[in-house]
C-alpha cells in the first residue's frame, strides 16, 4: 500500500481533521500528519506546540502508529523526504474546492509523482474550522464538541480562559 502525507496548519487540530486522519489511515500503509510552520498565517500556537497538541489529540482518539512532524519548506519536498506517494487533503464546503484545486495543480507541476487525494469531510464537520474553535474558546464557549479534551485544555491555557 501507498504512503501519504496529510499537511495542514492544525492550529489547533479539530474533530474535522481527525475524521480525515481516521479515514485516510484505512487507505494508506503509513500516514504522516505534517504541520506547516507557515509564519504568514500568524498561528496561535508555535509549530512545536501544534505538533505536541496533535500528538496528544490523536492518542486521545486512539489513533496510534502515526507520525506527526512539522516542516517549513515546500510540501512536495517534505513529501519526498517522507517517501510519500500521495498528499491527503480534506474538503469541507464548496469554498474549499477552488483553493485546494489550485494547490493540487501547483503540486502536480512541481512534483508529478505525487497524487492528491481528497476526502469529503463528514457533514457534521463541514463548517468546523480551527479559527472558529479559537474564537469560541476565546469568548469562554464550550469547544468539547469540536476538539478533544487535550486540545480544549491547550486552547484555554494559551488564551488564558477559565475552564
Find the catalytic residue in 17, 25, 50, 134: 17
Residue 20: CB atoms within 10 A of its CB come to 24
Task: Confirm if 136 and 161 have CB atoms less than 8 A apart.
Answer: no
Q: Respond yes or no: is residue 41 known to be catalytic.
A: yes
Find the catalytic residue in 25, 50, 89, 92: 92
Give the end-to-end CA distance of the chain in Å, rounded to a whole number.
43
Q: Respond yes or no: is residue 17 known to be catalytic.
A: yes
Read off φ and ψ for residue 97, nearest 5 degrees. Answer: -60, -50
Q: Crossing angle for the helix pair 149-159 and 130-138, nearest 10 degrees?
A: 60
Find the catalytic residue in 41, 124, 131, 144: 41
**Which grid coordinates belong to 38?**
507557515
Find the catalytic residue in 9, 70, 130, 150: 130
CA distances from 115 to 103, 131, 163 (A): 12, 28, 42
Residues annotated as catalytic are 17, 41, 92, 130
Amino acid at each position: 500500500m501507498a504512503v501519504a502525507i496529510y499537511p495542514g496548519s492544525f492550529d489547533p487540530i479539530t474533530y474535522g481533521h481527525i475524521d480525515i486522519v481516521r479515514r485516510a489511515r484505512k487507505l494508506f500503509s503509513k500516514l504522516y500528519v505534517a504541520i506547516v510552520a507557515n509564519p504568514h498565517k500568524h498561528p496561535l500556537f508555535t509549530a512545536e506546540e501544534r505538533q505536541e497538541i496533535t500528538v496528544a489529540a490523536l492518542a486521545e482518539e486512539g489513533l496510534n502508529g502515526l507520525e506527526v512532524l512539522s516542516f517549513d519548506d515546500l510540501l512536495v519536498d517534505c513529501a519526498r523526504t517522507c517517501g510519500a506517494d500521495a498528499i491527503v487533503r480534506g474538503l469541507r464546503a464548496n469554498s474549499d474546492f477552488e483553493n485546494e484545486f489550485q494547490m493540487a495543480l501547483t503540486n502536480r507541476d512541481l512534483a508529478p509523482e505525487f497524487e492528491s487525494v481528497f476526502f469529503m469531510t463528514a457533514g457534521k464537520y463541514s463548517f468546523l474550522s480551527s479559527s472558529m474553535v479559537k474564537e469560541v474558546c476565546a469568548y469562554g464557549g464550550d469547544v468539547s464538541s469540536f476538539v478533544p479534551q487535550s486540545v480544549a485544555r491547550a486552547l484555554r491555557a494559551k488564551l488564558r480562559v477559565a475552564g
